[in-house]
Structures are given as C-alpha cells and as structure tokens.
Amino acid sequence: MDGNSRRNGTTTVLVVGGVPEDRHAMSTLLRGAGHEAVSVATAADALRELDTRLREGTLPDVLLVDVRLRDMTGFELCRRLKAHHVLAALPVVHLSAARPPGGDHRRSLDSGAEACLSTPAEPEEIRTAVWSVVRAARLRSEDQALIRRLTLLSETIVTVQAARSLDELVDAAAEGTARLTGLPAAVFVLGPEGELYRGMSPERIALALPDRAAHDAVTQLIGRLGADRAVVHRTVVHAPLWPAGFFRPGVQDDARLVLAQGGKAPVCLATPVRDSRPQSPADEAGVARLAQATALAAEPLLMYQVERHVALTLQRSFLPEPDKLPDLPGVDIAVRYEPASRQAEIGGDFYAALRVGDGVLAAVGDVVGHSLEAATVMVEIRHALRAYCVDDSDPAVLAERLDRMLQRYHPEVTATVCLILVEPDTGRVRIANAGHIPPLIVRGAGGADYAKAHGPLLGLGLAVNRPTPTELFLEPSDRLLVVTDGLIETRGTDLAVSMEGLRAAVADAAPGVRPLCDMLLDRFGQDREDDVAMLALQLRPGRTRP
C-alpha cells in the first residue's frame, strides 16, 4: 500500500483506459468520495506511471482498469501486474461494458483481478467496490506484515536463547531490535555487581563510541528504572539525560527504553525517538517480548559467569603462576594455563611440578567435563598427588592411588593425567600415562616424537590393565612437552591429525622451554573451545649420564 495514502487518510486510485470523458467522470466521482484520482489512457502509460511511483514509494492503493484498452486488454495488464513481486499486491477492479457481462467477469477473475464492474455503474457501486478491495488488500498486507514480524521475532528469540555468552546475547538482541523497529538499537544487561554489557546494531559504525562516562550514566539510569522490579517497564528518556553516541556518533537523541527483568539483572532495549509518533502496538508488543526473552536468557548466562569466575579463581589459586614456580633441582620448567575463550563453564585442566627426593615429579591432567565440580575435583587430585608423592614418587604407584581415590570419592568422574618422574643427574625419565596425550620429546638436534606411553583413564578401576611406566633418557638439549587436548582438539578434525600438526609445529621450535610454550599458545591457543594447560621441561647442563 501507498505509505503517503495511509498517513494522510486518503486512497489513491489509478484509472486506466476508457474514453477521456469517462475517465474524467470517474476521476471526478472518486475525488468527490474523498479519494485521490490519477488517470492514464493506455496500459503502457499505466506501467510507466507504476514504475515511477514504485521508485518513489508512492504506489496507488487500487487500479480501475477498462478491459478494452488500445494497446492490450485489461486482462493482460492485470496478469502482468500479478506476476510482479511488488505490484502483485495492488488490487485491480476491471470495468466492462460488455453485454451480457458474464464472459468478461470470468476472464477478469482468471487474470487475478479482485472485482469486475459492469458499466455504466452506479456511483455508490463504484465507491463500494473501491473501498471493499482496498480494505481487503490492507488486511492482507497487515496480516503479511504481522507474519513477517512474528517470524522475525521468533528467529531473534531463538538466536538470543542460543547465545553462549553475554556479549553474544546483547549483540543478537540489538540486531533483532533494529530489524523489528527499523531503527538503530542498543541493548544493555546490568549485572548484579553493576557491570554493564552492551550490544549495538550492526549498522552503527564503530567510530566515536560512547565513552566511560556515558556507560556510567546508563548504568545508573537502568539501576534506578529497574528498581521497581516490574516485569516490563517502558519509558522515554530525553536528551541530554540519555548520553550521546549510542545511536549516531556524537549525536544526542531521545531514547525509547523497554526494560525487562527475568531475575536479578535488568535488560534494557533502547531505540531513538525520531518523531513524535508513538510506536505501533504491534512493534511495542514485539520489542517487549524480545526484552523479556533477552532477560530470561541473560539470567543463566550471568549465573554461568559467576560460576566461571569462582572456578577460575579456584583454579588459578591452586595452579602456581608461571613466574612463581618453585626452584626445582636440575631442570628448567615452564607452564601455561589458558581458560577457554568462549566457554561459559570451566574445565579441570591442571599442571603440577614437585620436588621429590633428588628428582622432579611433573604432571599434566584434565578432569573430564566442564563445570565447577570438574575444577574442584582437579584441586583434590593435585592435593592428593602432593600427599602421595611424599611416600612414593613412582609414577605407576601414583596413578594407581589417584585411580582408587576417584573411584571412592567421585565414582562418576574420570580424568586423564600424565605423570613424569625426572632424575636430573642422569636424564632418566619414567612416564605413567592415564588416558592423556603422550608427552612430546623435542630433540635438540631437530625433530620431535611422541613418547610411547599409554594407559586407561583414572577413575575406571583398570589398574590391572595399566602398563608399566615408559622409560627414556633426555639429553641436555632435549625438551619434554605435555599439553591438554584443549590446545589442539578441533571439532570435526581427527585428534590424530591435530596431534601430528602439534608434532610438526614443535619440531623446529626456538630453543628454551618458555619460548616453546609461548609459540604454541600463539599458534594454537586463540579462540579455543576448551581450557589449555601445558608444561615443558629441560635438563640443566652439568648432570652425568650413567
């Protein structure tokens, strides 16, 4: 439908064909009934007029078409219009002077016209026909618009609910709000500690973004508006109370806000107020539904974030910082730990480096699963390992004891671990591997190979199937590397292929254990879906081979 006609309350009618006197009379009749009338003589004139109006966005509301045109029949013109992806929505009323009228009426309906009037017709009959087809077309248009709006709303809610982080959530909600309203949008989630998460619609260019003061002002405003705990709260905030720059760089706009709360965290959907007209009821309802869905989806993500923070704090508190490792005799050791970049939860990856007698016990492991429980079990394993190695540092004995501990206290949990006992004076290394990626031996002369060390996971009670430790010797220029699978595992790629990629990457790595770890994080550790732990060690010069 013609946007101008809807705004000013008139209906535009395009009269096509007929003798000039009839066209003039028809136009006069329509104008007297409150319509705007435009008349053309031929089908070609009508198509040119429609093409111009289509570009201008001022299409008529209805066409009155004489079935006997000079250049083609009105039936053919109607078929052409109904084949067009935009013009097909225009209602067509045919005018026929045929006697009897039945044949033209059938051909009219077959061509797609909404009605066919016999002429001469009574003025009231013409006025009724015009209003009837226009009303029916508008109802169809409104139904189609409603279907599109509901489809868009459903798609946006699905995207919001599938978000794996609060950053993804606010971006998806902002894009959906912009598509629903046709306006730039900003979406905010206010966390329980006052932290503000912001998403902006894609068309908002990343120049002159609002500064910290603007975010602080929005935080305070949302906090005050969300204090009434209403499920949905709508308001308009006038500039300058609403900071500049969220909708247009450096520009102050009045903001229409919709706030919703699904729990403790208020969610705010904001769009600019560009004129005095209120939102349509349908748009208002759609944005309110989206705000509620965003608030409900934000709540578990905030809970996950709190859990992640607790787990990370717990994990980091028990994993020594890379620059605060104890001084271990005869070896240089480097460790790294990187939490998953996109994971709301956290895994149980860990490392350990302990002094035992005249040697060093190193371990890298991973508790299966991603949860706070995985992190707490990881802590228990590290503590148990420290306690067990006081009496016996044999890797095979330690693996068996850790296996029994998990069976007794965490029967539903399994874990992988690689235990390495190093004798710095001799270079002798003994490895007990429980379901973990085998260590890589990076030779100083070049090349790298995986140690042949395998065994069942911890927690399965398969001590009888656990092989004897693998024994090998390191030269002072050799390095031993152990990683968790989060470093290389990629969905859809066989782990053996990823392991070969890791082996090739370290084969010509620069000397030193720290450069080795840093290189691997730079090459493999970006945007990982799982936590990463790694440990590299190298003998210090000066020991003697037996």
For the CA atoms of 139, 143, 149, 155, the dihedral, rounded to the nearest 10 degrees, stands at -170
Q: Given this model, what pLDDT does residue 6 score?
A: 44
Q: Given this model, what pLDDT does residue 2 score?
A: 46
User: Which amino acid is it at 101?
Assistant: P
Q: Given this model, what pLDDT does residue 324 score?
A: 63
- Convert 209-228 to b/e letters by CB count within 10 Å (16 or more is b): ebeeebbeebbebbeebbee
Q: Given this model, what pLDDT does residue 409 score?
A: 92
Relative orientation angle of helices 123-161 and 20-32, to the nearest 10 degrees: 70
- Which residues partner with 350 through β-bridges? 365
Q: How many Å apart are CA 176 and CA 286, to the nearest integer?
A: 10
Q: How many Å apart are CA 288 and CA 259, to the nearest integer?
A: 8
Q: Read off the pLDDT of residues 4-18 as tens digits, 9 standing for 90 and up.
A: 444 445 788 999 988
For the CA atoms of 337, 341, 344, 348, the dihedral, rounded to the nearest 10 degrees, stands at -20
CA-to-CA dists, residue 27 to 1, 12, 14, 109, 123, angstroms: 20, 11, 9, 24, 11
- Cis omega (within 30 of 0) for bond into 192: no
Q: Given this model, what pLDDT does residue 444 score?
A: 87
Six-digit token pair at 292? 């509620």
Q: What is the DSSP string of 481-531?
A: EEE-GGGT--TTS-HHHHHHHHHHHHTTPPSSHHHHHHHHHHHH-TT-SS-
Q: Given this model, what pLDDT does residue 158 score?
A: 86
pLDDT, tens digit only, all 546 positions of the chain: 444 444 445 788 999 988 888 888 888 888 888 888 899 999 999 999 999 998 888 888 889 999 889 899 999 999 999 999 888 888 899 988 877 667 888 888 899 888 888 888 788 888 888 888 888 877 776 666 667 777 777 888 888 888 888 888 899 889 988 888 888 899 998 887 788 888 888 876 666 677 888 888 888 888 887 666 556 788 888 888 888 888 888 788 888 888 887 667 788 898 888 766 666 677 778 888 888 888 888 877 777 666 666 666 665 666 666 666 677 888 999 998 887 755 544 567 888 999 998 899 999 999 887 666 777 888 899 899 999 999 899 999 999 999 999 999 999 899 999 999 999 999 999 999 999 999 999 998 889 999 999 989 998 877 667 778 999 999 999 999 999 988 888 877 888 898 999 999 998 888 999 999 999 988 887 776 778 889 999 998 765 444
